[in-house]
Structure 1
Amino acid sequence: MVNSPEFFTGKGQDLASDIQDLQTPEGELHLRFYLPSQSEFALPAAGIREVMQQTPDRITPIPNASPLLLGTINLRGQIIWVADLGQFLGEETILNTDRSEIPVIAVEDQEMILGLAVEQLGEMEWLDLENLQPSHNISDQIAPYVEGEWITDQELNQVLRLLNHVAILRSARWVA
C-alpha cells in the first residue's frame, strides 16, 4: 500500500527525497537550560531520568535540611530531593520559587536520583564532544562539576558549559 502511487499525492511525492536529505546527528544528545544568572548549561540526556514542571506547593520543604535543597517531591511513588542548582554552583542570584511552575531536571546515576531546579529549560540538542574546550574563568566552587564548554558566541563571549551530573549527585556538599 505504501509503495502504491496512489499513496503519494501532491507534495507527498517529495517525501522520499526529504527523508534522504535528513542528516545523521553528530555528537551526543544534551538538554540545555538556564540558571537565574542566565548562565547556560547542558546535561547529557543519558543521565536525565525526567524533565518536569513542578508547582511550588508540590515541593515539600524539609526542616533543618541543607539550604541548597528546596525540599522533596513524589516522583511516581518515589520521594526525591529537589535542589536549587544555581545555589549549589555558587550563584548569587536565588531561584525565583514564587511562580506557577519550577522546571526540575531529575538526574540519576545507578540508584541515586536528584531533582535539579533551574530557571528555564532550553532545547534538546546534539552536541559534539570533540568541540568541547576546557572551561575558562570559572570559580573553584563550580570547577569540579564542569566538564568543559562550547563557545556559542565568540563576540559576546557566551559559552555553554557541560555539567557532570554524576559529580553533582555524589558531591559531599549535600551532607554538609
Structure 2
Amino acid sequence: MVLNLDFLTSDDAPNTNEVTPGSRDGELCLRFDVPSGNEYALPASGVREVMSVYFDRITPIPNASPFFLGTYNWRGQVIWVADLGQFLGDRVLVNTDQNEVSILIVEEQELVMGFAVRAVANTEWLDVKQMLPNTGTDAALPASMSGFVKGVYQLSGTETAELRLLDQVAILRSTNWTI
C-alpha cells in the first residue's frame, strides 16, 4: 500500500527561511535544547534512543575530561555520557542536582555515546534549502562550535531565535574528547 502525503502539504505557504512545523521536505531531525536554552537538532537517523536516566546510574570517572559526566551501562554496553552543551561551548552546565537527565544515545558506525541535554522537544522535518550559513543571525556562535554545526534555521515567529543543526559524525569523531 502506498501512502500519498500530498494532502499534508500546502502550496499556498510563502517561501521563507523559517522552520515551519509539519513540512515533510528535507531530513527528519530530533529537536532539543541544552541548559543554556539554546536549541539544536540532530538528524534522527543517527539517534538510536532518547531516554531519561537517573544521575545515580551514571558512574563518574575521576580525572576525565570536564565534558564527561561519566559512563552508563546502556543495554549491556558501557558508553560515555557527555554534557553536549558544555562540549559545544555553552557555559551553563547540566544540572546534576536533579534526579534525572535526558540523554540522546547517538551512534555512528562503531562509536556510541550519550549526550546529556536539558530537554527533548520533538522530531521535525528540516529542509536543507531553508538552512542559513553556519553563522546564522547569532554573532555569538562560539568558535568551538563551528566544526560541529551543519547550518542554522531561523525559528518561525521570532527574529533572533535559531535552531542549529549539528553534525553528529563530526562531534563523535572530534579530537576534543580527551579523557
Fold conserved between structures, TM > 0.5: yes
- Tell me the equivalent position of 1:52: 51
Partner of 1:64: 63
Alignment gaps of 5+ in structure 2: 10-22
Q: CA deviation at 1:20?
A: 7.5
**What 5-or-longer segments of structure 1 have no aligned partner?**
1-18
Tell me the number of residue pairs that the alignment of Structure 1 and Structure 2 aligns: 158
Structure 1 residues 101-150: Cα deviation after superposition (integer angstroms, max 9, x where no partner): 10000111101001000011110111111111112221211101011100
Q: Give the secondary-structure state (helix, strand or coil) at the position aligned to 1:143.
A: helix
1:51-106 CA-to-partner distances (Å, cap 9, x unmatched) read 11000001010111111100011111000000001110111111112112100001
Confirm whether residue 161 of structure 1 aligns to residue 160 of structure 2: no
Alpha carbons of structure 1 residues 20 and 153: separation in structure 2 relative to 1, 3 Å = closer
2:155 paired residue among 152, 155, 159: 152
Q: Any idea what SS the aligned residue of 1:80 has?
A: strand
TM-score (normalizing by structure 1): 0.84
Change (3 A) 1:40 1:70: same
Any idea what SS the aligned residue of 1:141 has? helix
Q: Where does residue 129 of structure 2 map in the other structure?
A: 130
- What's the TM-score once normalised by structure 2's chain length? 0.83
Q: Is 2:170 the counterpart of 1:142?
A: no
Which residue does the alignment assign to 1:12? none
After superposing on structure 2, the runs of 4+ consecutive aligned residues of structure 1 that deviate more than 4 Å are: none
Q: Alignment partner of 2:97: what SS? A: coil
Counterpart-to-counterpart distance in 1, 2:100 and 2:86: 18
CA distance in 2 between counterparts of 1:22 and 1:154 reads 21
C-alpha distance in 1 between matches for 2:167 and 2:158 = 27
Q: Which has the larger radius of gyration?
A: 1
In structure 2, relative to structure 1, the CA distance for the partners of 1:29 and 1:98 (3 Å cut) is same
The answer to whether the 8 Å contact 1:61/1:70 transfers is yes
Q: Provide the rounded CA distance (Å) in 2 between the counterparts of 1:20 and 1:46.
A: 23
Match of 1:100 in 2: 99
Q: 1:153 touches 1:159 (CA, 8 Å); kept in 2?
A: no
Give 1:140's aligned amino acid.
Answer: A
Q: Which one has more relative contact order, counting CA pairs under 8 Å at least 6 apart?
A: 2
